[in-house]
Structure 1
Amino acid sequence: MSTERQTAKVLLVDDRHDNLLALEAILQGLPVQAVSANSGEEALKHLLVNDFALILLDAQMPEMDGFETARHIKRRERTRHIPIIFLTAADRDSQLALRGYAVGAVDYLSKPFDPWVLRAKVSVFVELWTKTQQLQAQAEVTRSREAALRGAGTAIDEALELLTVATAAPDDRTAREQAEKAASVLSRARRRMY
């Protein structure tokens, strides 16, 4: 099975440009494509057109904060499965962390955080996403093969009927015609299987 490997995308959401640059630098060298958004609204727009393996989301942003953004993400069928890691410069208040988990976050890191820890966490989620993509591709191939086999089975049944008619035919010409039709049906069935 040869499936084209898709690069995992990670959505970086922070209202401060320097924080986005720092996150991009931390992810440098990982097998990911970083996509930056400087607001919750912009992040939601990216989520309409792209699939992401992970979202790194600043908790405290003006207008739509990270918690509200996460609620919107988790309400949408298309995006509710995407893991979210909250990042915040706020003090290590456990209430904020609990609030993050309540809206669907898988983790909550306070700044300053260890960049190697963040890289390790991103790597785990990217690997899970990659495995999920591979399983989905394998499932599609399996469904396709099952459909081909069902079609081949139907063609074999049809060919057997034609051969039965051919063996009971009153003359050689009718038998030959039925046998040729059966051979044609079996040939098409064979092509479907491969």
Structure 2
Amino acid sequence: MVQKAKILLVDDRPENLLALEAILSALDQTLVRASSGEEALKALLTDDFAVILLDVQMPGMDGFETAAHIKRRERTRDIPIIFLTAINHGPHHTFRGYAAGAVDYISKPFDPWVLRAKVSVFVDLYMKNVQLREQAGLLRRELEGGRPPAHGERGSRGLLPELSARLAAVEEQAEALSKELEDSSMSAAVATAAHLERKLTGLRRALDALEPGADAPARAESSQG
């Protein structure tokens, strides 16, 4: 079963949450509601999210305060935050949003197609990172070596072709995503995609060092990196 990304929707008004769910349902991901900043922080304690859509104006803890708490936590500080606001804000208001850690700022009423496209980019990046972690786990098992395969497992050399094929698929998807973002104004997404490509390059080098015929020094160097 393909894992779905979780998207956190934070707004104190139920009708706004319902509208967001209607817009984002086409992405076929898991949508999680939070009606306050406190509720959002509680959800972030246990679940991993691809992106957070955060309303600015909320009673009690507003969007700026909520974002500040999110960015202070090591577990959640790298989650992209898109601020949603009905305020006719000026440059100072916008700067405050970006200073709080937002990757984008969208005014209500917003274009559903634009919002869905922006969220889709971060979902794609999140899924690529999940796949990359899975490949890194398989590669780590190869690098550890020395353990006989358990019942139902394939041997070390049988796993390498599968790992290489999976990594090639992620590399192809990451390259396509980077090309889509070349002319994008979403600097945070572009930076994340570039970081993903660097990690893919390092993983590919380590995998190549495990292929039959790779010399010992190269293998040792890759395992240390």
Give TM-score, length-normalised by structure 2: 0.65
Q: Does 2:76 align with 1:79? A: yes
Of 133, 136, 139, which residue of structure 1 is paired with 2:133? 136
| Residue correspondences, number | 152
Q: Does 2:120 align with 1:123? A: yes
Question: Which consecutive unaligned segments of at least 5 residues does structure 1 have?
Answer: 156-190
Deviating beyond 6 angstroms after TM superposition, the runs of 4 or more aligned structure 1 residues are: none
Residue aligning to 2:30: 33
Residue aligning to 1:110: 107
Q: Does 2:63 align with 1:66? A: yes
Identity among equivalent positions (%) equals 65
Separation of aligned partners in 2, 1:23 and 1:94: 26
Residue aligning to 2:2: 5
Give TM-score, length-normalised by structure 1: 0.75
Q: Residues 132-191 of structure 1, C-alpha deviation per residue, up to 9 Å, x if partnerless?
A: 10111101110011112xx26xx9xxxxxxxxxxxxxxxxxxxxxxxxxxxxxxxxxxx8
Within a 5 Å distance, the mapping from 1:173-188 to structure 2 comes to: none
1:37 Cα deviation from its structure 2 partner: 0.3
RCO comparison, higher one (Cα < 8 Å, 6+)? 1
Residue aligning to 1:46: 43
The structure with the largest alpha-carbon Rg is 1
Q: Which amino acid aligns with 2:70?
A: I
1:192 Cα deviation from its structure 2 partner: 6.1
Residue aligning to 1:23: 20
Q: Which amino acid aligns with 1:142?
A: L
1:95 Cα deviation from its structure 2 partner: 1.7
Of 95, 106, 114, which residue of structure 1 is paired with 2:92? 95
Separation of aligned partners in 2, 1:60 and 1:126: 25
SS in 1 for 2:88: coil
Separation of aligned partners in 2, 1:33 and 1:8: 6
